Amino acid sequence: MGKKILFVASECSPFVKTGGLADVVGSLPQELNKNEKTDVRVILPLYQEIIANWHSQMELVTSIQVQVGWRNQEATIYQLVHQGIHYYFVGSDYYFERKGIYGYYDDGERFVFFCRAVIEALPVLDFQPDVLHAHDWQAGLAVAFAKISDPVKDMKTVFTIHNIKYQGIIPKDAYQELFNIPEEHIGGLEWNGLLNCMKSGIFHADKITTVSPSYAEEIQTPYYGEGLHPIFAERRNDLIGIINGVDLDEYNPMTDPHITSNYKYSRIKKKENKENLQEKLGLPIDSEKPMYVMITRLVEQKGLHLVQTILDEFLQEDVQFVLLGTGDDEFENFYFHAQQRNNQKLVSYLGFDEALARQIYAASDFFVMPSLFEPCGLSQLIALQYKSVPIVRETGGLKDTVIPFDETEETGNGFSFSNYNAHELLHILKYSLAIYHDPTRWSALLKNVNKSNFSWKDSASEYANLYQSLDGSFNKAY
Ligand code: ADP
């Protein structure tokens, strides 16, 4: 029988998604479970949005009482099997029956509750994991509580850092009211005198992973470590970078129901998607016009300040630019007004729209992702699937997945620049345009794009090996 793994996470496609974490938690179990060595299940909060769309298919497992400070809160556990994967959901009227997922004043408390509920539910589930695999800060305390209270004999823990910037920090006086942890454990939960959920996960986990080899190196430095880099001095040997894969069935231009013309390599079909999108967004219809796009959370991490600095100048070129995103007001305002100034060339679609995202991937020639930092990045991998050429800054997973095009050797699947500098970005954008207009070089580049493959297969086998290694029986034969 396979090793039993329980993923603990705050989002998971297709139930709830705000970013790449959901893609990973949604697709990695599918790949792992193709192999009989693992039986992966997933536990998530039961948000209002999930209740609305999935509740009728769920089955009640049990209800438990969870102590959060002075409050005794009920956690109702449901289950559902979807596409062969077993999902559990932690329901709470008080914490999760709200609009949206994050952004509440008590997010810290909500995920303290979630993590406690997961650990306290373990003994009553019909699934006693060999490994609890927690993802990002929202699940960090599950690792800590597992280590402290030992709910399942010999259970090991893995903690994956998807983005170290978001740590789940709770003021000391607030968290002392949230749970009663014996004094000797407080040190493992705190960082600089505050409760830090991400640090708690890193500190307590048997193994720590992050989502690309380059990011695993970067987070050990002050520049990228977001204040947590000193922890890795002690945990360096337990930290591994495993690059994310893409769900090739989900993101497949051959079968994607959201796009007008399905294709594999055909540029003609791809251009049909471009014309369709141009029509939909009110841009001049011209399939030869190079189209640059971004699909992103509108936050500083994504290099939006660089784009802002040079956007008007770049739009002097004969190009079109489409941005789909939602996030900080600063950026929403900028891109809204930038469209007013450049309305035949730029469309800023401010919102979250999965179908439109697919149409943009399919229509585009270039995918722009000049991130300040990027743990892995899925968007550039999805872009490659849809034969859109990524233009990235050389950081984290972008550096590990996008190889700069070399005209002489005809190698590389995209364009990249090194320094966080707007004019380096402008330079590479203009260079990419020159390549677009050079048929020989453009087709050499597209050949390499067509060959790029970021399936989950290799990465899933690295996770499977990691799980095996936890009890000493390291097994290379996965
Ligand atoms: P992050 O997790 O930091 O947001 P990733 O590149 O890892 O970045 O993953 C982003 C995921 O979210 C991709 O699947 C991307 O297509 C999707 N996405 C981002 N913004 C939007 C949006 N506004 N509408 C639809 N999908 C989006």
For residue 23, the ligand 1 atom closest to its alpha carbon is 14
Judged against a pLDDT cut of 70, whether residue 280 lies above it is answered with: yes
Q: Which atom of ligand 1 is nearest to the CA of 325?
A: 23
Residues 21-46 have a mean pLDDT of: 94
**CATH fold of the domain at 3-245+457-469:** Rossmann fold (3.40.50)
Q: Is 50 exceeded by the pLDDT of residue 369?
A: yes
Ligand 1 centroid–CA 35 distance in Å is 28
DSSP reduced 3-state for 357: helix
Nearest Cα to 331, choosing from 297, 365, 290, 377? 297
| Stated pTM of the model | 0.92
Domains 3-245+457-469 and 267-453 are alike in CATH topology: yes
Residue 184: band (very low, low, confident or very high) from pLDDT cuts 50, 70, 90: confident
Confidence bin at 171 (pLDDT 50/70/90): confident
pLDDT beyond 70 at 262? yes
Pocket test for ligand 1, best of 210, 248, 379 (most atoms within 8 A of CB): 379
- Between the CA of 199 and the centroid of ligand 1 the distance, in Å, is 25
**pLDDT value at residue 408:** 96
pLDDT at 474: 38
Task: Tell me the CA end-to-end span of the chain in Å, nearest whole number.
Answer: 14
In the chain, where the domains are located: 3-245+457-469, 267-453
Return the pLDDT at 176. 66
Which ligand 1 atom lies nearest to the CA of residue 163? 3
**34 Cα to the center of ligand 1, angstroms:** 26
Residue 372 near residue 395, CB atoms below 8 Å: yes
Q: How far, in Å, is the centroid of ligand 1 from the Cα of 430? A: 25
From 123, 195, 121, 119, select the one nearest 157 (Cα to Cα): 119
Which ligand 1 atom is nearest residue 357's CA?
25
Alpha-helix runs per DSSP H in 122-244: 136-149, 172-176, 183-189, 197-204, 213-218, 231-235
- Give per-residue pLDDT as tens, 143-164: 999 999 999 999 999 999 999 9
Instruction: Using the atom order of ligand 1, give the atom closest to the CA of residue 162.
Output: 2
Is the pLDDT score of 478 beyond 60? no
**Ligand 1 centroid vs 398 CA: distance in angstroms?**
14
pLDDT at 473: 42
The CATH topology of domain 267-453 is: Rossmann fold (3.40.50)
Mean model confidence pLDDT for the chain: 95
pLDDT of residue 46: 98
Residue 181: band (very low, low, confident or very high) from pLDDT cuts 50, 70, 90 = confident
pLDDT of residue 472: 57
C-beta of residue 342 within 8 angstroms of C-beta of residue 300: no
Percent of the chain with pLDDT over 70: 97
Residue 1 confidence class, pLDDT cut points 50, 70, 90: low
pLDDT of residue 234: 87
Residue 34 has pLDDT above 90, yes or no: yes
- Which residues line the pocket of ligand 1, CB cutoff 6 A? 19-21, 23, 295-297, 324-326, 352-354, 357, 377-379, 382
